[in-house]
Structure formats: structure tokens, C-alpha cells
Structure 1
Amino acid sequence: MNREQRILRTSIAMTVVLAIAGIVFGLMAGSASIVFDGIFGLTDAVMTGLALLVARLISLSRSRDNISRKLDERFTMGFWHLEPMVLGLNGMLLIVAVTYALVTSIDSFLSGGRPLAFGYAIAFAVVSLIGDLVMVIYVRRANRKIDSELVALDGRSWIMATCLTAALLVAFLIGALIQGTSIAWMSPYIDPAVLALVCLALIPVPVATVRTALAEILLVTPRDLKTEVDDVAREIVRRQGFLGFRAYVARVGRGKQIELYFIVPPNSPARKLEEWDALRDEIGEELGDEGPDRWLTIVFTTDLEWAE
């Protein structure tokens, strides 16, 4: 958790620096696409800050101090539900930003384009591209060890920023090269055209993020997890001679919520509580992924109504 928070803090700092530089250079160059790059970055920094807050809350809830006890009293179900909320809000804000930039680019294109100071634009694009690539490599390598969805989201944001900056750099280089040629009249249209293309390319990414977040917020059953749990439960039913089972699963952020109800035959031989607990331990081991991010409930009953 500390490593996750450190990665997110580094990402926020780098994002703010590049975003402010983008807005300043964008205004100097007269480039709406660079200004959008800066605003996009600031939006991402705010959302990464929220992700950092969620990671901090989850970390505190696992500690054994007074703060943890107070959090447990207020949030007995944990903080997993905050992760998809942050992801969904992040995606929605990015969709709004990209849509607005697309409309602005179309309006600028229809109004005759926008003249650019290509020297400032190219200088910023080169520096920004280097910074973006460094962060992509850093975040992706770091997340291989911790496998955090929040850090993974941040990594995808850096990839989006890298693609955006690379597209801007190529467009600005082309614009600078055609100066003084017979097609120099096209240069004012380069900025709005590349901004529109970048927006169209970026829109699917936050849409996918929002779709995933909504599925987790609405507790849509993940098929892979349900299949895994069903397979284990069927084997337990076969070995123990139970009548059947009911499984309820959900994935919320990094957390897995699993509820298993086994239908025991009426009048079956009595067992000690220690035996039932041992069977629960066995089922938990077969399900795997034991840890603070798994919420597992196992119930044995002879009454089907308790399972439905």
C-alpha cells in the first residue's frame, strides 16, 4: 500500500508540472490542442489525488491503531466501494473534457483555423513526450509488483497522454515544414484537425473505464469469478453429499465479495462447530486469494429460503 501511494504521489507531481507547462506554452503558441493537453492533465491529477486518498483509506483500515478502529466503526464493510466510484468519476470527467475539446476543434476548423507559433509548440511537445514516456515506463514497471487497479488506471492515463503528445508533435513538425510552401495555407488548420483526431481516439478509453466502474458499482456478477466459485462449490457438494448450493459473487475495486450457501440434507448426522469451521477453511483454501481484499461468507443450512 505504501508503494502504491508513493507511485500515485509521484504521478500527481509530474502531471501537475506538465499540465501547467502545457497551459503556459499552449497560450504562448496559440494552440488549443496544447491547452487541452494541460487541462486534461490537471483533470487527471485531481482524479489521481482522489485515487491516492482511497488507497490511503484502505491502508489505514488495515492498520491496528486508533484511526483504524474508528474507521472500522464507521465503515464496517470497508472502502472497496470507493474505487469504482473514483474510476467512474474519472472516466466521466475525461469524457466531458474530450467532448468539449472535440466541439471546440470543429468550431475552430470551420472558422478558418488557428495560426500557431510552431517553435514554442514543438519545444513543448518534445519535452512533454519525454516526460510522458518516462512516467509510462515507471508506472507500468512498478505496477507489475503491486498489481493495483488504481495504479493501472494511472498508467493508462499516461499512455493516453503519450499518444496525445506524440500526435501533437508530428502535427506541429508537419506544420513547421510546410511553412513557405504552396500548401502553407493549410497550417492554421493543423491544430484543430489534430485535436479533433486525438479526441476521437481518446473517447473509447474513458468510456471503457466508466463501463467497468458501473458494473462494479451495480454489483454485476463477473462471469469468471462466478464460474470459479461454482466449480469449487459443486465439488464440495459432491464430496459432502449436500443437496446443492447458492453462490453470490461481486467484484468491487480490488475486493472480491463471495457468499456461499450450502443446502445440507435434513436429519443429517450432527457435526461439531469445529468440523464446520474446518470445512469452511477447506473451502476458503480451494477458492484461493485469501487476504484482506476477499470478503468470504460460508453458510450451511437445511432451509433453502435462507439461501435465496
Structure 2
Amino acid sequence: MRLGEQGFLRISIAATVVVATLGVVFGILSGSFSIAFDGVYSLADAAMTGLALWVSSLIIQSTQRDARSGRIRNRFTMGFWHLEPIVLMLNGCLLMTVAVYALISAIISILSGGHELQFGMAVAYSAATLLVCAVMAFLGIRLNARIKSDFISLDVKAWIMSGGIALALLIAFLIGMAVQATPAAWVAGYMDPAVLALVCLVMIPLPIGTVWKALTEILLIAPADLQEHVDRIASETVRRLGFLSHRAYVARVGRAMQIELYFIVPEGLPAKTVEEWDALRDEIGDAIGDESANRWLTIAFTADAEWAE
């Protein structure tokens, strides 16, 4: 049985909860703010991944043909695609907020003279977390090469970010252990907040691309490539059939492609049967391509341009 989007997200939630729990426990026992932050970050990521799983389930269920899915479609006639960019934007903003808060805490700790740390426990946690993050990121990258899911893509980024945190912590804690018996032992007290500050500075800008993409989808900003593709096909249809012009309205919302296409036809055009108009719609739809449950395509013909505005 091949692993799908929802299966991977379920595994990711379970792994994240385990890492988060260990992070909070080891952070308290070792006295490490950076490990505690890693645990809190993982908990936030688990909550967002759970929300992503729920939205993914709704989107997939709304495309099924059973009775329950039919009731869902009757209640939510416009689908659930609009929830996907909202979740992605919320996820990215939450992760950036957590990182900014941790950065402020790290700066305060540095200015306060740092603090003592149980390096042995900290090294053990960092090494174990790094291994889990590497395995999950590898699995996610392999899976997403096949299914191209924005949810999995963001989840992989989160695992890579968590792995980067764990690697930075591991290196810093090993350095702290090494200098404890040397004249530079005073450095050990600053190691934990310093590496936390560095990690946060790297992490804060990472979700910006995801947040911006989600925002453009929430605002229904027309993607240039999709607009150009639809305009080209519509213009060819207008020229070939002697229509007057067309109006195209396009957007990408999560995994959905939404297209409304209006053709302005001359007044007094010889009548066509409904079947002939439907055949023309099929022809235009085939030219646009990407026909699936995630394509929302409306094609209309009118002699009154006001209906297309």
C-alpha cells in the first residue's frame, strides 16, 4: 500500500508529538531554553499539521461519490479549497511568531549572563531529534516528488527546520562540553542562549515564501502563467469561431484551479443546439487541460458584454 498525503501527515503528527514531548521534558531536566523551545515549536507544528490533515480530508471527501460526501457538497457547494491557503498562512505565521518570541528570550538570557546547563542530557536529546527529523524529511521529500502536496511541502520544511535546530544544538552542546574543563569555561553558560538566538535568526524568514504564496491565493490574485495560458486558448477560439472577444477570470486556491471564461458572440449569430455548445465547452476545456476534481471551470457564451463584466 502506497503512502499518501493523509497517511504521511498522520505519521508526521505522531513523530512530532513524540519529539515535542521529549523536548519539553529534556528542556526542563537539562535547563536548556533552546531544547524547550524546540519542544514548543514541535507542538505548534503538530497542531498545524493536524489542522492540515483535517482540511486535506475534507477536500478529498468532498470529491467522493458516496452519500456522506453528497451531503457535504450540498452544504458546502463551493468546496473546501479556500481552507488550504488559510491553514498554510496560519501555520507560517505561527512558526515565525514562536521563533521571534524565542529570539527575544535568548537575547534576554545573554544579557543576563547566560545559565548553567546539563550538557550530557542535552547532547542525547539533540542527537535523537536530529535522527528523527532526517528520516521524516527524507520520507516527505520522496513522497512529495510523486504527489506534489503543499501541505507535505510545508511539513518537510518544518522537519528540515527542526533538524537544523537539532544539529545546531548538538554542535553547540558538544562545544560546551569540550570547554568546561578549560579556561574558557565561562563560554559554556552562554552557549545555549547564543545558539538559540542564531537558530531563530535563520528560522524566522523561512516561512515567508509560504505565507506570501498563501496570501496571494486568499486574495485571489491571478497567477500570470495561468492567466496567459487561458487567454491564449480563448483568443484562438475567438479568432477561429468569429466571436467578438472574451473575458477570463482565473485564480489558484490551494490545489484548486478556478477559471471563469466568457465569450462575447455577435448578435444574430445562427442558433446552435445545447449539445453543440456543450461540445464547444468540452473542446475548450480539453485545450485548457488539468481536468480533475480540483479544476473549477465555467464557460459561458453571451451577446451582452455586461454579463461578462
Q: Is the TM-score greater than 0.5?
A: yes
Aligned to 1:240: 241
Give the drift of 1:61. 1.1
Match of 2:226 in 1: 225
Alignment of 1:72-87 (within 5 A): 72-87=73-88
Q: What letter is aligned with 2:112?
A: S
The farther-off stretch of 65-74 and 106-115 is 65-74
Which residue pairs with 2:211 in the alignment? Answer: 210
Partner of residue 21, structure 1: 22
* TM-score with structure 2 setting the length: 0.97
Could you tell me which residue of structure 1 aligns to residue 147 of structure 2?
A: 146
SS in 2 for 1:250: strand
Distance 1:164 1:239 in 2: 59
Q: CA deviation at 1:43?
A: 0.4
Aligned to 1:198: 199
1:117 aligned partner? 118
- CA–CA distance in structure 1, aligned partners of residues 19 and 279 of structure 2: 55
**TM-score scaled to structure 1, two decimals?**
0.97
Residues 195-247 of structure 1, C-alpha deviation per residue, up to 9 Å, x if partnerless? 11111111112222222211111111111211111111111112112111111
What does residue range 163-178 of structure 1 map to in structure 2 within 5 Å? 163-178=164-179
Q: Does 76-85 or 269-278 show the bigger shift?
A: 269-278
CA deviation digits over 1:18-47, x for unaligned, max 9?
A: 111111111111110010001000100000
Find the aligned partners of 1:287 and 1:21 in 2 and give their Cα distance: 50
Cα distance in structure 1, aligned partners of 2:117 and 2:240: 74
Q: Distance in 1 between matches of 2:70 and 2:280?
A: 30
Provide the residue aligned with 1:158 in structure 2.
159
Please state how far the C-alpha of 1:69 moved relative to its aligned partner.
Answer: 1.5
Question: 1:153: how far off?
Answer: 1.2
Residue 205 of structure 1: SS of its match in structure 2?
Answer: coil
Deviation at 1:2, TM superposition (A): 7.7
Moved more, 82-91 or 6-15: 82-91
2:31 alignment counterpart: 30
Unaligned 5+ segments in structure 2 are none
Q: Give the whole-Å Cα distance in 2 for the aligned partners of 1:112 and 1:14.
A: 35
Indicate the RMSD between aligned Cα atoms, in angstroms.
Answer: 1.3
| Structure 1 equivalent of residue 93 of structure 2 | 92
Unaligned runs of 5+ in 1: none
Output the CA distance in 2 between the equivalents of 1:171 and 1:240. Answer: 69
Q: In structure 2, what is the equivalent of residue 277 of structure 1? A: 278
Residue number in structure 2 paired with 1:70:
71
1:258 aligns with 2:249: no
Q: Distance in 1 between matches of 2:232 and 2:191?
A: 56
Letter in 1 for 2:46: A
Residues 144-174 of structure 1: per-residue CA shift (max 9 Å, x gap): 2221111111111111111111111111111
Distance in 2, Cα, partners of 1:290 & 1:46? 33
Question: What secondary structure, in the 3-state scheme, does the structure 1 residue paired with 2:247 have?
Answer: strand
Number of residue pairs the alignment of both structures matches: 308
Identity of aligned residues (%): 57
The SS at the match of 2:54 is: helix
Deviation at 1:64, TM superposition (A): 2.0
Deviation at 1:303, TM superposition (A): 0.9
Task: Work out the CA distance in 2 between the residues paired with 1:255 and 1:233.
Answer: 20
